[in-house]
Amino acid sequence: MRLDDKVAVVTGAAKGIGAGIVERFVDSGAAVAGFDIDGEALRALADRLCSRGRILAIEGDVALERDVQKAIERTVAECGRLDIVVNNAGIELAGLIPDYTSEQWDRQVGVNLKGAFFFAKYAIPHLRVRGGVILNISSVHAFVSYQGDAAYDAAKAGLLALTRTLAIDHGREGIRVNAICPGYIDTPMTEQWLATVPDRDETMRQVLSIHPLGRIGTPRDIADAALFLASDAASFISGTYLVVDGALTAAGR
C-alpha cells in the first residue's frame, strides 16, 4: 500500500490521530498538507517529518469556509494536484442538552461535521480531475451513544450520512468516499478526558476491561486503516465505514 506521487490534505493534523495519519502518509510517499488550528504544534510536526518527505503546514479553522478554501488553493498551487482529503479534525465538549448554549452546539457541529462539508465542497472540483479519495474520521459514537455527548454523537453520525451521499453523488467521477470509526484511542483528547475523572487508574482499568483485545488503540492503528482506504488496494470500496475499536462495539459496549 503506497501513495507515491499522491497529494493529501489531513485536517486536525497537529497531534493524535491526525498526526499519525500525516506521518504514515508521508512515509508512504505522499506529499501532505497538514491543516490545524494549532499552528505551533503543526509546525513542530512538519519540522520533525520534513526530512522524510514533503509536508506543508497550513494553519486554519475547519469551521471557517474561507480558511478551508485557502487551504485547498494553497495545496494545489504548491503541490500541483490534490488526490486525498482526510477530514479528521474534531472536538468533544460534553454536556446535557438543556445546559448547552447554541454557540457550544454550533462549534461542535461546525468542527466535527460542517468542516467536512467545506473540505468536500472545495476539494471535489480538484479530485474530479484524476479521481481521488475523501476519508471522514467518524467515531463509534456514530452508533453507540454515551451520556452527555449529544452534539458529538450527532455530528459523528452525520459524517456517516455525508460519506454515503458523497460516494453516491461522485462515484462516477472516480471519487471514493469512506469513513473510519475509531473507538478509544490513545490521543491528547483521551488524556484530557482522563484528567477529569476522579481516579484515572481505575477508569483505565474499566476501559481496558471492556475491550476484548485488552488494550485501547493507537494513532498508528487508525493511520494504517486510513492508508489502506486511501490506497489503490481499496479501489472498489466506497460509501461505507470501517470500525477500528478492538471489538468494543462487537462486545456491546
For the four alpha carbons of 80, 81, 84 and 85, in that order, the dihedral sign comes to positive
Centroid of chain to Cα 114: 13
CA torsion, points 233, 42, 126, 68, in degrees to nearest 10? 130
Residue 134 identity (one-letter amino acid) = I
- Please tell me the distance from the alpha carbon of residue 127 to that of residue 76, in angstroms, as a whole number: 11
Match 474530479 to its residue by C-alpha cell. Answer: 128
Strands 241-244 and 84-87, how do they pair?
A: unpaired
Eight-state DSSP code of residue 95: B
Q: Coil, helix or strand for 7?
A: strand
Residues carrying an active site annotation: 152
Q: Coil, helix or strand for 64?
A: coil
* Longest CA–CA separation in the chain, Å: 53
140, burial (CB in 10 Å: exposed 0-12, middle 13-18, buried 19+)? buried
Instruction: Tell me the chain's radius of gyration from C-alpha atoms.
Output: 17
Whether 134 and 175 have beta carbons less than 8 Å apart is answered as: yes
